[in-house]
Amino acid sequence: MFIGHYGVSFAAKSGDRSIPLWVLFIAVQLLDVAWAPFVLLGIEKVRIVPGFTATNPLDLYYMPYTHSLVAALLWSAAAFAVYRLVAPGKRAWSALLVGAAVFSHWVLDLVVHRPDLPLYDNTAKMGLGLWNFPALALGLEAVLLFGGMWLYFRSGAARRTAFVVLGLIMLGVQVYVFFGPPPPSGKAAAVTALVAYAVFALVIRMLERPPRLRQASAVSALLVMVCAAGGCAAGTGLHPAIDAPTHFQVRGPDGRAVEPTPGEGCRTPMIDPRDGAPLILIRSAGGQGDYQVPVARYGVRKGELLRLDCATGNVIGIVRR
């Protein structure tokens, strides 16, 4: 399973808009992100066997630390704990979704892998073997990816065209993985996987950037993908992000910063957690507030406002006044 995992990212995002998509993109691939360096260090083992399955030449004969059921549960629990500690708001529901996204990797792998997923250590291996049925395997990847994306769109996500284009590019990559030449070695496969996961996480981070940077983000995303394929000259620059935190805080009646409460509405001013600079509420509707900030701060120009999600303090974008 490759691009199908990302469908879980989009579905989880529709359940909690406060979680950045790039975090969920890493979460659903965390077991493979850990697997790659373990292979490079010789801790886990893989060999290339052309024709091993109809779509995948990887013989994953030893990976107890990342792809056993017990290991998957431990990685998921660790992801829950880390996100609960470091995420803005430290909400248990958000951390639970991140942990579930990590565990979903093992569940989906179970469907496509041959029996190489151990329950614990390197024993009692399981796998339903859908990789031996190319049309079904590719169809499942596409349905999961675009099904999750559809749920994300239903939750009110913008920039649908850009995300669909990204999905089609990912589907093309999946076709190449299934039917292209096998990697020269297991370590080469591990390095390629790491690069792919990093590129997709970076691209999705760009696509989530505020509206002002939509066009630049799309161009930057394409540049990153070209660079990852080795087609970038040195010195190629990407459009800079807005210099703003992704999460603002509410100033309470006593002047102290407090976490916003879901359903509270846009009744109190937001502040920049870095320096306490106030953002003055101008208008609000549908759980979103448009705030006045000093000209040039965060890239806001004269006649523009910074739009925030009032329930989370997350940046949505820059809008005309």
- pLDDT tens-digit profile, the chain (321 residues): 999 999 999 999 988 888 999 999 999 999 999 999 999 999 999 999 999 999 999 999 999 999 999 999 999 999 999 999 988 666 788 999 999 999 999 999 999 999 999 999 999 999 999 999 999 999 999 999 999 999 998 877 667 888 999 999 999 999 999 999 999 999 999 999 999 999 999 999 988 865 544 444 444 455 445 444 444 433 333 333 344 555 666 665 555 655 555 555 566 667 776 666 777 888 887 677 888 877 666 667 777 887 777 776 777 777 777
Spell out the residues 6+ positions from residue 76 whose beta carbon is closer than 8 angstroms to its own.
99, 100, 102, 103
Residue 17 maps to a domain:
yes
Strand (E) positions, 212-312? 249-251, 257-258, 270-271, 278-285, 288-292, 304-309
Q: Which of 156, 175, 208 is the last residue of a domain?
A: 208
Q: Which two tokens stand for residue 307?
A: 């739009």
Residue 234 maps to a domain:
no
Give the pLDDT score at 39.
97
Asked if residue 258 and residue 192 are part of one domain, the reply reads: no
C-alpha Rg value of the chain to the nearest Å: 22
Residue 235 maps to a domain:
no
Give the pLDDT score at 316.
77
Q: Which of 208, 239, 268 is the last residue of a domain?
A: 208
Q: Is 58 helix (H, G, I), strand (E, B) or coil?
A: strand
Asked if residue 196 and residue 284 are part of one domain, the reply reads: no
Asked if residue 286 and residue 204 are part of one domain, the reply reads: no
Asked if residue 163 and residue 271 are part of one domain, the reply reads: no
Give the pLDDT score at 120.
93
Asked if residue 112 and residue 17 are part of one domain, the reply reads: yes
Asked if residue 309 and residue 177 are part of one domain, the reply reads: no
What is the extent of the structural domain holding 286?
Answer: 249-320
Residue-wise over 73-88: b if at least 16 C-beta within 10 A, else e? eebbeebbeebbeebb
Asked if residue 171 and residue 102 are part of one domain, the reply reads: yes
Give the pLDDT score at 319.
78
Residue 240: how many CB atoms within 10 A of its CB?
Answer: 10
Asked if residue 186 and residue 51 are part of one domain, the reply reads: yes
Give the pLDDT score at 258.
57
Residue 177 maps to a domain:
yes
Structural domain tally of the chain? 2
Residue 108 maps to a domain:
yes
Give the pLDDT score at 207.
87
Residue 320: how many CB atoms within 10 A of its CB?
Answer: 8
Asked if residue 133 and residue 59 are part of one domain, the reply reads: yes
Strand (E) positions, the chain? 45-48, 58-62, 117-120, 123-126, 249-251, 257-258, 270-271, 278-285, 288-292, 304-309, 315-320
DSSP code for 314: B
Residue 49 maps to a domain:
yes
Asked if residue 198 and residue 69 are part of one domain, the reply reads: yes
Among residues 284, 274, 285, 280, the alpha carbon closest in space to that of 300 is found at 280
Give the pLDDT score at 23.
95
- pTM, two decimals, is 0.69
Residue 13 maps to a domain:
yes
Spatial contact of 37 and 88, defined as CB atoms under 8 Å apart: no
Q: Which of 186, 208, 230 is the last residue of a domain?
A: 208
Asked if residue 197 and residue 278 are part of one domain, the reply reads: no
Residue 47 maps to a domain:
yes
Asked if residue 200 and residue 56 are part of one domain, the reply reads: yes
